[in-house]
Chains A and B, each alone.
Chain A
């Protein structure tokens, strides 16, 4: 059984446009898949339907055998602990330290009181430091997050997702705000996570070249529909042109 199964998913925020149209796809455990498509195609929306950060309209999302749309509040919380999320703008709490931000990833496992009082076990703290070490930002552990560079902040974001011990990590344009160097570091880490820890990654990307380099499989979204879904090498130039539309040819190489 696949880890994630999306069936006939539809979504619209208002009656004017249908953002997602009949999306069908499934992702097996350990896959590294990239979703590409022009701005406004619905990539972010699709990602957020998977952990129900936006409500599913019709259709189903099955994660790890559970119907995401049917979970009550408490079970949804439980389910979200198994799905890490990484954002374009890192979404850290700027005034708190790196280590505090990493430990935020444990809230889903804690009682409300335990989380509010910040009661973390020694093991959890040790794990947080180990992760920072692994991502090469251990020296920054006690710095405030707003004093870090973008690339460093994104690595904190990755640590926060990893400490959840997730089965799936959703990345919404993780490198869109980074320079090429930092981008490569982040993509390499994501790849490493997927191969070493066996965590499934779904990565929204703007850069087709990066998607081809890193993902096993690419899914192309266009105006809310999946117009391409296949192994990365199968994504030919004319398929790319179909996804992005003819006139945006030069956009692809950026």
Chain B
């Protein structure tokens, strides 16, 4: 890279930076949000956190209950993700331009994927809440539907990236569609697909807390309950367990990724 390009890059960077500052100023002016005032409240907020969010002995007694709910939430996330993954695989096979059986199914698959993907999981919870009421089925379905769209999209990309040369070779041997898909397409895209599933499990464990608050299930519901009762000690404990769980899951999936990729 020569100096001219470097200088041009620097200039561009400065320009982008200025635009960001201008945009920040404009939007805070419009929303009457005062940056300095809110920064000024940060010390007070931390003081509150440290004085109230303390895990006490009393709170620790509730730990078994919390862990049970946490388990429920984790397993619900994993179940929602893996079941959605199975459906996504079929939708992706129909939707991908390299493996589609016919155009109508392909359009339908892409439409379903895009519909479920473009509505956020919180909105899905609220929509499903109306029809299914406040129970764990609603929470499960909200995660399932949002995951379905995302994974279908990701799987379509993995399938499209798979090398078409072996597909051609297997077609030439007289193999059937399902033989080709299972022996040439899937083996090539599987590592990427598993990686996406792991990513989605991580994401869903985080969203499950939020979905739980809305739909009254799992750890989210418990969080909400104690939060409304102003029992901040237990809230602190719940938050801590969630953080530990998410980090643990992340570590595990990083390990799995290393092995498969």
Binding site for B on A (CB under 8 A): 51, 53, 76-81, 83-85, 87, 89-96, 100, 104-110, 112, 115-116, 118, 157, 160, 164
Given contacts A92-B166, A96-B187, contact A112 B179 (CB under 8 A): yes
Chain A contacts of B171 at CB under 8 A? 53, 80
Contact of A80 with B165 in the complex, beta carbons under 8 Å: no
Give the total number of A-B pairs whose CB atoms are below 8 A apart. Answer: 87
**Are A107's CB and B170's CB within 8 A?**
yes
A220 to B166, CA, bound (A): 28
Distance, CA A116 to CA B183, complexed state (A) = 7
* Proximity string of chain B (172-197) to chain A, C-beta cutoff 8 Å, 1 when within and 0 when not: 11111111001110011001000000
A93 touches B187 (CB 8 A): yes
Minimum CB distance partner of B164 in chain A = A91
A53 → B minimal CB distance (Å): 6
Is residue B161 contacting chain A, with contact meaning CB distance below 8 A?
A: no
A51, B172: Cβ atoms under 8 Å? yes
The answer to whether B172 and A93 touch across the interface, beta carbons within 8 angstroms, is: no
Residues 108 to 138 of chain B near chain A (Cβ within 8 Å): none
User: Do A87 and B173 contact each other (CB < 8 Å), given the known contacts A93-B188, A107-B179?
Assistant: no
The residue from A76, A80, A93 contacting B173, defined by CB atoms under 8 A apart:
A80
> What chain B residues lie within 8 Å of A81 (beta carbons)?
173-174
Complex Cα distance, B164 from A94, in Å, reads: 11
Given contact pairs A87-B168, A107-B176, A112-B179, enumerate 16 new A-B contacts (beta carbons under 8 Å).
A53-B168, A77-B175, A77-B176, A80-B173, A81-B174, A95-B191, A96-B187, A104-B170, A107-B170, A107-B183, A108-B174, A110-B179, A112-B176, A115-B179, A118-B183, A157-B169
- A92, A107, A109, most chain B CB atoms within 10 A: A107
Query: Contact at B173–A108, with CB atoms within 8 Å?
Result: yes
Describe B's contact surface by its main secondary structure. Answer: helix
Tell me which residues across on chain B come within 8 A of A104, comparing CB atoms. 169-170, 173, 175, 183-184
CA distance A118 to B178 in the complex (A): 12
CB-CB < 8 A to B178: which residues of A? 112, 115-116
CA distance A158 to B176 in the complex (A): 21
Closest to A80 in B: B174
With A and B bound together, what is the CA distance between A220 and B26 in angstroms?
71
* A232 to B175 Cα, complex, angstroms: 35
- Bound-state CA distance A76–B165 (Å) is 20
B166 touching A107, Cβ below 8 Å: no
21 A-B pairs with CB atoms under 8 Å apart are A80-B171, A80-B172, A80-B174, A83-B172, A85-B169, A87-B169, A91-B165, A92-B169, A94-B188, A96-B187, A104-B173, A104-B175, A104-B183, A107-B179, A107-B183, A112-B178, A112-B179, A116-B183, A118-B183, A160-B169, A160-B173
- Which residues from chain A contact B170 at a C-beta distance below 8 Å? 104, 107
Q: Is the CB of A164 within 8 A of B168?
A: no
Residue of A nearest to B189 (CB): A95
A64 to B54, CA, bound (A): 84
* Residues of chain B having any CB pair with chain A under 8 Å: 163, 165-166, 168-179, 182-184, 187-188, 191
Closest Cβ neighbor of B175 among chain A residues: A107
B250 to chain A, nearest CB (A): 26
Q: Is the CB of B174 within 8 A of A77?
A: yes
CB distance from A138 to the nearest CB of B (A): 22
Q: Give the most central of A78, A87, A90, A104: most B CB within 10 Å.
A: A104
- Closest residue of A by beta carbon distance from B178: A112
Taking a contact as CB atoms under 8 Å apart, the answer to whether B187 and A95 are in contact is yes
| B183 and A115 contact, CB distance less than 8 A | yes
Shortest beta-carbon contacts, A-B, top 8: A108-B174, A107-B175, A91-B169, A80-B174, A115-B179, A91-B165, A85-B172, A77-B174
Min CB distance A101 to B, Å, is: 8
Distance in Å: Cβ of B48 to nearest Cβ of chain A: 54
Question: A112-B178, A116-B183 known; A164 and B173 CB under 8 Å?
Answer: yes
Provide the residues of chain A in CB contact with B166, threshold 8 Å: 91-94
- Closest B residue to A105 by beta carbon equals B173
Q: How far is the CB of A192 from chain B (nearest CB, A)?
A: 21
Judging by beta carbons under 8 Å apart, are A78 and B169 in contact?
A: no
State how many angstroms separate the Cβ of B165 from the closest Cβ of chain A: 4
Q: Shortest Cβ distance from B169 into chain A, in angstroms? A: 4
Instruction: For A92, list chain B residues within 8 Å (CB).
Output: 166, 169
The CA of A157 and the CA of B169, in the complex, are separated in Å by 9
Nearest A residue to B176, CB-CB: A112
In the complex, what distance in Å separates the CA atom of A96 from the CA atom of B188?
Answer: 9
Residues of chain A within 8 A (CB-CB) of B191 are 95
